[in-house]
Chain A
Amino acid sequence: KNQVEQSPQSLIILEGKNCTLQCNYTVSPFSNLRWYKQDTGRGPVSLTIMTFSENTKSNGRYTATLDADTKQSSLHITASQLSDSASYICVVSANRDDKIIFGKGTRLHILP
């Protein structure tokens, strides 16, 4: 069964600190993996997209990694800011049936 599991479910850190969010998936055959940021009451905004051959991709203070062998991805946030408080969603696409599978997200709270 195609699944995307994210951890932790929620995370609280102080402003300026770094953090790493995890995404494990069982989607096969794998097409691509995306990380989105969703602010409360808004639609998700794309941060990164990675295909099978890509190991890492950065977008400003956001760096995503992908290990296609272990089917794991991480999103690292550097020097967190208050505006980083949001839900971060991992989304994996499957090649065969065109399915898009969502993780339940990690709710990140940045404290001043």
Chain B
Amino acid sequence: GAVVSQHPSRVICKSGTSVKIECRSLDFQATTMFWYRQFPKQSLMLMATSNEGSKATYEQGVEKDKFLINHASLTLSTLTVTSAHPEDSSFYICSARGAGKEKLFFGSGTQLSVL
């Protein structure tokens, strides 16, 4: 069964609205969570890395004020796309890693479409 749950799987929103995506580790404590975006037929692109209880580290070119990441507990991280625009339409995926660093599991992804 899935060990990382990501919701929603698909969301359609109007331009200018904010969208929150949740990522939960189901049977292990995720000390680190990663957020990626992926365009069609492209590889995963890391957006940010977050450790529980601390601020996320964003990759170069990713706006931290636009993509708000919260990792308030060892089982939950959220990504909020603020004031979404059509160019933010993409497939967003989270992954979670345990303290032992052996476990690295991915969520099932969220397809965001901004109209």
Q: Residues on A close to B: CB < 8 A?
A: 31-32, 34, 36, 41-46, 49, 89, 91, 93, 98, 100, 102-105, 107
CB–CB A104/B109 < 8 A: no
CB–CB A43/B43 < 8 A: no
B34: A residues at CB distance < 8 A = 100
Given A41-B91, A43-B109, verify A89-B101 contact (CB < 8 Å): no
Please tell me if B44 contacts chain A, counting CB pairs below 8 Å.
Answer: yes
Name which of A43, A44, A46, A107 has the most chain B CB atoms within 10 A of its CB: A43
Main secondary structure of the interface of B (DSSP, over half): strand
CB–CB A42/B44 < 8 A: no
CB–CB B44/A89 < 8 A: yes
A103: B residues at CB distance < 8 A = 43
Closest Cβ of chain A to B30, distance in Å, is 14
CB–CB A100/B104 < 8 A: yes
Closest Cβ of chain B to A88, distance in Å, is 11
A-B contact sample (15 more), CB < 8 A, given A43-B109, A100-B97, A100-B104: A31-B101, A32-B102, A41-B111, A42-B108, A43-B107, A43-B108, A44-B44, A45-B106, A46-B105, A49-B102, A91-B104, A93-B101, A98-B32, A102-B46, A107-B41
CB–CB B104/A34 < 8 A: yes
